[in-house]
Amino acid sequence: MQIRTLGRSGLAVSELCLGTMSFGNTTSEADAIRMIHQFKEQGGNFLDTANVYVAGRSEEIVGKAIKDIRSEVVLATKVRMQTADHPNGSGISRKHILQSVEESLQRLQTDYIDLYQVHVWDHLTPIEETLRALDDLVTSGKVRYIGCSNFFAWHLMKSLACSDANRYVRFISIQPQYSLVSREMDREMMSLCLEENVGVIPWAPLGGGFLTGRYTREEPTSGRLSAKVGESAWALRGTERNFAIFDAVYSAASELDKTPAQIALAWLLQRKGITSPIFGATTLEQFADNMGAVGWQMPQDIWDRLDEASALPSEYPNRFIAKFARPYASN
């Protein structure tokens, strides 16, 4: 597995990141620990969890699995969501951040977190307060680097500007939803991340399972896509446009003798600006399938075909700016 540096940092991470949201729920503790160890044996070093996954159980399992290999692992977790039933039990205030990091460290059985991420923007807390608290955690040694997730482009740019103006640590990464069937980040976020050298570690790279080929055009009665609300709701995933994209994925899989999941992940791995897609697996069989996305190169013509099939419609101001783009001056 290839190793890449994360954003504007020297932090070396594997090209795939193992997501652990199902650990302790649909994935048993025994299978989860086995999965982490197999991931490490196959060259993976990047693990992503959050303090609210399975009410903290995911962090506990991850901590148990990596206790003896802690220095070899890049451990990412998150703060923001509701963890206690009182007014300060959620958000990214200094109070909630400092309380949450101590609880995560205890569950993870470690004295530091490699990548501490803001799970989603909090409109009630000034970003200056959040970044100062995170800067203090880095200074204290409890956190090595900071990242964010589920931000608008202006959220990220405001945060970076605040860090620069106050000499606080910067977000080195963002974790957005991004896949062949969810490319909203192409509007502004991806160009911002390239400009500011912010690493992109997408969640739901398989569209919540849609790109695995498991689903037909009939509304499912089981699985994540049977949800009525949320990003994996069938109303969002099971559209004709998405099925047209999947048809292109299936065609590519047939041509290259790969599975649809491997094609969807490989497309991301070869996309400029993407550091490490975060894949989740509830079973060891799914884990093995996803790991088959590395170690080979998708032909450029097939990659281009997938890119064209999934591209967003031409939109203002991108098409207006492109009309007046000037070529780079030659040396």
The pLDDT of residue 216 is: 84
DSSP conformation class of 25: T
How far is residue 2 CA from its own chain's centroid?
17
Are the C-beta atoms of 171 and 177 separated by less than 8 Å? Answer: no
pLDDT band at 326 (very low <50, low <70, confident <90, very high): confident
Per the annotation, the verdict on 53 as an active-site residue is yes
The pLDDT of residue 329 is: 63
The pLDDT of residue 125 is: 98
The residue type at 228: K
Question: Mean pLDDT, to the nearest integer, of 299-320?
Answer: 95
Are the C-beta atoms of 157 and 183 separated by less than 8 Å? Answer: no
Are the C-beta atoms of 45 and 72 separated by less than 8 Å? Answer: yes
Rg (CA), the chain: 20
Instruction: Read off the pTM.
Output: 0.95
- Higher-confidence position of 263 and 234: 263
Tell me: the pLDDT tens digits for 192-214?
Answer: 999 999 999 999 999 999 999 98
- Is pLDDT above 80 for 327? no
Residue of 53, 116, 145, 215 marked active site: 53
Looking at every residue in the chain, the average pLDDT score rounds to: 96
Asked if residue 327 has a cis previous peptide bond (ω within 30° of 0), the answer is no
Nearest to 80 by CA among 148, 140, 144, 18: 148
How far apart CA 31 and CA 65 sit, in angstroms, is 11
The residue type at 172: I
How far apart CA 254 and CA 10 sit, in angstroms, is 38
Q: Give the domains, in start order, of the chain with CATH numbers.
A: 3-209+272-296 (3.20.20.100)
The pLDDT of residue 322 is: 87
The pLDDT of residue 138 is: 98
For the chain, the straight-line distance linking the first and the last C-alpha, in angstroms and rounded, comes to: 37
The pLDDT of residue 331 is: 52
Tokens coding 286? 């799914």
E-assigned strands of 68-165? 74-79, 113-118, 143-149
How far apart CA 44 and CA 47 sit, in angstroms, is 8
Residues 6+ apart with CB under 8 A from 262: 253, 289, 290, 292, 293
Question: Mean pLDDT, to the nearest integer, of 88-96?
Answer: 96
The residue type at 111: D
Tokens coding 32? 């989860």
Tell me: the pLDDT tens digits for 140-173?
Answer: 999 999 999 999 999 999 999 999 999 999 999 9
pLDDT band at 226 (very low <50, low <70, confident <90, very high): confident
- Is pLDDT above 90 for 33? yes
